[in-house]
Amino acid sequence: MALKRAARTLHISLRTSAAIVAASLMFADGAALAQSAVSAPPDRIPSSGFRFGETTGEELYASVCQACHMSDGKGATGAGTYPALAGNQNLAAARFPVTVVLHGLRGMPPVGYFMTDDQVAAVVNYVRTHFGNSYSDAVNAGDVKAVRK
pLDDT tens track for 82-137: 999 999 999 999 999 999 999 999 889 999 999 999 999 999 999 999 999 999 99
Distance of alpha carbon 7 from alpha carbon 44, whole angstroms: 41
H runs (alpha helix) in 37-83: 57-60, 66-69
Higher pLDDT, 23 or 2: 2
pLDDT attached to residue 52: 87
pTM given for the model: 0.68
Q: Does the pLDDT value for residue 76 go beyond 50?
A: yes
pLDDT attached to residue 13: 44
Q: Does the pLDDT value for residue 38 go beyond 50?
A: no
In CATH terms, the superfamily for domain 2-148 is: Cytochrome c-like domain (1.10.760.10)
Residues 6+ apart with CB under 8 A from 108: 34, 68, 100
Distance of alpha carbon 82 from alpha carbon 51, whole angstroms: 23
